[in-house]
Amino acid sequence: MKIVDQLREGDKRAAAKLISMIEDDDPGATAALAEIFPHTGKAHIVGLTGPPGVGKSSLINRLVREYRERSKKVGVVAVDPTSPFTGGAVLGDRIRMADTGSDPGVFIRSMATRGHSGGLALATFDAVKVLDAYGMDIVFVETVGAGQSEVDIASRAHTTVVVQMPQSGDSVQALKAGILEIGDIYVVNKMDLGGGDTMASNLDFMLEERQGWRPPVVQTAALDGRGTKELADALTKHYRFLKRGPLWRGREADRARKELFESMRHLLAETFSDDTAGIGFEETVGAIVARKTDPRTAARKLLKGLKLPR
């Protein structure tokens, strides 16, 4: 496809257009993604998560500049609906974005949270693939810490960064359940607020080595750029640890398995949403509601009679 050639030649508008096609469920997107796929797997994919207002976007903004100084190409995909990248300023704190217009080595994009049938996680990681094939060295996925998408994204990135900020009171209690398990790197941002040292050492105390990696706690202040270099170094260190270690193959397979199941689900949803094909999906739903059949028996029957479109 022409758009794929343009993307591979470094045409930034081709990247933007392809991601829009993904968001719009454009049929051409599927073909393009298949063509792109062999060119992916080169970028370091970093998931960055944390509650709203913690300064994730400012932090990424600093990281973008840092990576450009290191002559690395960097992409950002924001899934957080409150992210300044999407236009919504948090706490009135508008940040000045790294110049993204003219520099082909930077691409920042926020994903619409509605509209694609495959789910946000699928669309997001399709966008990441576009940036990967475009030639980015590192791609950040920014997500707000809220439920399913957060967990999905953590399980798909190579490196998950959990961002927190200093808190009054007992910071241990305030940590969301499960947060200590998902991060490869922890960041205490807004160190300028004070109280960050305590939080950082509390965090450090609670974190344990998992599979040979002990998550470091990096202290940053996106406001003045403090800690940005240290965070970038920690990211590189974790990526090298993964690539050179025994975990890489297993994680790649896990990711592939997950994506395979998600694609199947997407394909099934697509198939069954077209009820004119006489598949009787909505009829089956009605039979379940009326307790005439149970979901398992119905699922088996639907899969047995499955005829994929096209």
Minimum CB distance to a second copy smaller for 147 or for 212: 147
- Which of 117, 265, 274, 277 binds a second copy (CB under 8 A)? It is 265
Contact 232, 67 (CB under 8 A): yes
CB of 31 to a second copy, least distance (A): 9
Minimum CB distance to a second copy smaller for 243 or for 292: 292
- Which of 113, 148, 198, 211 binds a second copy (CB under 8 A)? It is 148
Element (H, E) at 127: helix 120-134
CB of 123 to a second copy, least distance (A): 13
Q: CB atoms < 10 A from the CB of 232, how many?
A: 19
C-alpha triplet 84, 63, 88: angle, nearest 5°: 0
Rg over alpha carbons for the chain, rounded to the nearest Å, is 21
Q: Which of residues 30-59 bind a second copy (CB under 8 A)?
A: 30, 33-34, 36-41, 51-53
Minimum CB distance to a second copy smaller for 96 or for 289: 289
User: Which segments within the chain are labelled E, that is strand?
Assistant: 44-50, 74-78, 106-110, 138-144, 159-164, 185-188, 217-219
Residue-wise DSSP of 179-225 = HHHH-SEEEE--GGGS-HHHHHHHHHHH---BTTB---EEE-BTTTT
String marking each residue 220-249 x if it binds a second copy according to CB under 8 A: -----------------------------x
Q: CB atoms < 10 A from the CB of 211, how many?
A: 11
Contact 74, 136 (CB under 8 A): yes
Contact 190, 221 (CB under 8 A): yes
Instruction: Please tell me whether residue 300 binds a second copy under the rule CB under 8 A.
Output: yes
Instruction: Please tell me whether residue 306 binds a second copy under the rule CB under 8 A.
Output: yes
Stretch of 103-111, 222-230, 233-241, 290-298 contacting a second copy, by CB under 8 A: 290-298
Minimum CB distance to a second copy smaller for 13 or for 257: 257
- Which of 8, 103, 262, 280 binds a second copy (CB under 8 A)? It is 262
**Residue 27 burial (10 A CB sphere; 0-12, 13-18, 19+):** exposed
CB of 288 to a second copy, least distance (A): 4
- Which of 7, 90, 131, 144 binds a second copy (CB under 8 A)? It is 144
Total chain residues near a second copy (CB under 8 A): 63
Phi-psi label, residue 130: left if phi above 0, alpha if psi -120 to 50, beta otherwise: alpha
Binding residues for a second copy (CB under 8 A): 30, 33-34, 36-41, 51-53, 144-148, 150-152, 168-169, 173-174, 176-178, 249, 252-253, 256-257, 259-269, 284-286, 288-289, 291-300, 302-304, 306, 308
